[in-house]
A and B are shown apart, each in its own frame.
Chain A
């Protein structure tokens, strides 16, 4: 009797717990969207970026403070690092020793990212294969036309293989976003020429930065080159300094002069009237003295 009761209780509670866990899982487990990107910047630094978000009412909500792990998959899974996602759901890892990583059979790198998940968020992972590409940009003046000369190649067995048929985007960074200046298609030699417009405003001296990049390329990832050159029109602020108008701090001169003249005139007359009053009083005092 006793064992039967205890078995029943045990199995009942086990069933209860199991169903409870199922129930809690079905309540609100978020299925995140995880995206892995690779960046190679102008200073030759390499970056892996993972964005962790989830969808709610057709809006992407970032997940903050989640631990993201980065791995290199080629030649065995190797942990590259772990970082936390920030306010916009982005976790970044700089790959300082990228040249020491094992390569895949195609001669590229293989990266992956993992999010372990927790009670409310499911786990997620993503993979990315990147082939290292060398992008070169030269800013030349050909027949007094400003031209950007682009060249891209991959290296295999110490031989340069030109990248052809790919598109390189060229931008000039502005205050809030990047202004597209053109797209260059690389020919069979992996080079392209792009004419740079002559009427883009730069800073006060006419300097501007020119960015050329592969954008979200399936093999190369994001590769970027930046250079600053005095290829812009010098910009001047339209508001002159020490300006005097109705809406500036200092009023126009004629206004101040007119006002001062008018007020001096009027208050001068008041002064005269007050002086007359004082003199009347003095007169009466004099007469009183004379009488007494």
Chain B
């Protein structure tokens, strides 16, 4: 289902913010805005003054003045909450190389969801062939959110960090653009904003590392496992967009992954289908597992159909190195 970006992002970032600080309500309402007060330390000195505001739903509401937080504090709260992550979770992804046919719907959904310029690909598709005798296969590569992330180790200012729930995020407001993380990542998972991306932001947008919108010139961006979706128990955008159900995602502590249609036990999937990780010997312990490309239903070249030279030309020299 296509998401309506313009309306959605502006409303949901505030919605999501309120969710994050503990408000359970799904719809933003007066109760939702006033719910801030439950976590405010200023309960003793309430002025009792109220202010009339327009809620994101378009309703005129009256809110206690004490419950209104300045925007700067909201950003600081969002960044703080983004560093903590979701409690008691460990996210992982399984990509079934047997089914991928380079539909590139994952790439498009990701770019749309994060307002990326067209030449930024957080999810990238490679055409690989390990040896001339082995099979060619399409290889979708998101950020692996490694358990021993080289990129986090080398960041001099702590702009990129590993959360307890396994996700590695980038704080666009801390990044100084030294690009050490890009040389540190062996999987080329990070992209750099070499110029002003000129993104049209929705109104009322507040910076949140979990969506990492907007991309900022001179900083680094990468796949974030759609951490904003995960907060509302929604799957990452690439997972739902894939027409072949190639990408499975789940909480590995629950030992379950789903691609939106099938839900399977992660351990069973790994054992039955001989799952592996890309270049395990590098020891970064990625959170993304792959299923071998066996019993293909269609030839590899089908993956080039319908694309222009910009895409097709990439794979002209694909083959064993």
Is A59 on the interface with B (CB-CB < 8 A)? yes
> Judging by beta carbons under 8 Å apart, are A180 and B88 in contact?
no
Q: How far is the CB of A252 from chain B (nearest CB, A)?
A: 11
A-contacting 9-mer, from B16-24, B28-36, B249-257: B249-257
User: What residue in chain B is nearest A203 (Cβ atoms)?
Assistant: B88
Give Cα distance in the complex from A246 to B88, angstroms: 22
Is there contact, CB below 8 Å, between A200 and B250? no
From A64, which residue of chain B is reached at the shortest CB distance?
B4
User: How many chain B residues touch A (Cβ–Cβ < 8 Å)?
Assistant: 31
Q: Does any Cβ of B come within 8 Å of A201's Cβ?
A: yes
Using a CB-CB cutoff of 8 Å, which residues 1-56 of chain B contact chain A? 1-2
Residues of the B chain whose Cβ atoms lie less than 8 Å from the Cβ of A177: 256, 258, 260, 263
The answer to whether the Cβ of B152 comes within 8 Å of any Cβ in the partner chain is yes
Least CB distance from B236 to A in Å reads: 10
A174, A203, A238, A247, most chain B CB atoms within 10 A = A247
- The answer to whether A239 touches B251 (Cβ under 8 A) is no
Interface of A is mostly: loop
* Separation of A180 and B165 alpha carbons in the complex (Å): 25
By the criterion CB–CB under 8 Å, are A176 and B162 in contact? no
Q: Find out whether the CB atom of A249 lies under 8 angstroms from the CB atom of B161.
A: yes
Find chain B residues with CB under 8 A from A249 CB: 158, 161
Q: Mark A40-62, 1 if CB is under 8 A from B, else 0.
A: 00000000000000000001111
User: Please, how many angstroms separate the alpha-carbon atoms of A178 and B153 in the complex?
Assistant: 37
Interface digits, A172-208 against B, CB 8 Å rule (1 contact, 0 not)? 0011111110000000000000000000110110000
A15 shortest CB reach to chain B, Å: 42
Smallest beta-carbon distance A273→chain B, Å? 29
Tell me the residues in window 128-162 of chain B with beta carbons closer than 8 Å to chain A beta carbons.
147-149, 152-153, 158, 161-162
Q: Is A248 located at the chain interface by the 8 A CB criterion?
A: yes
Choice from B152, B254, B260 contacting A201 with Cβ under 8 Å:
B254
Determine if B263 and A179 form an interchain contact, defined as CB atoms under 8 angstroms apart.
yes
Interface code B205-229, partner A: CB below 8 Å = 1, 0 otherwise? 0000000000000000000000000
Known contacts A204-B88, A247-B149; A176 and B250 CB within 8 A of each other: yes
B158 to chain A, nearest CB (A): 7
Assembled-state Cα–Cα distance A247/B159 (Å) = 12
Docked complex: A221-253 residues within 8 A CB-CB of B: 235-239, 245-249
Q: Is the CB of A247 within 8 A of B263?
A: no
Q: Are B234 and A201 in contact (CB under 8 A)?
A: no
Residues on B lying within 8 angstroms of A by beta carbon are 1-2, 88-90, 147-149, 152-153, 158, 161-162, 164-166, 233-235, 249-251, 253-256, 258, 260, 263-265
Interface of A with B (CB < 8 Å)? 59-62, 88, 174-180, 200-201, 203-204, 235-239, 245-249
A-B contact pairs, 17 of them (CB 8 A): A61-B2, A175-B233, A176-B235, A176-B249, A176-B250, A176-B258, A176-B263, A177-B260, A179-B254, A201-B253, A238-B147, A238-B253, A239-B166, A245-B148, A246-B152, A247-B149, A248-B162
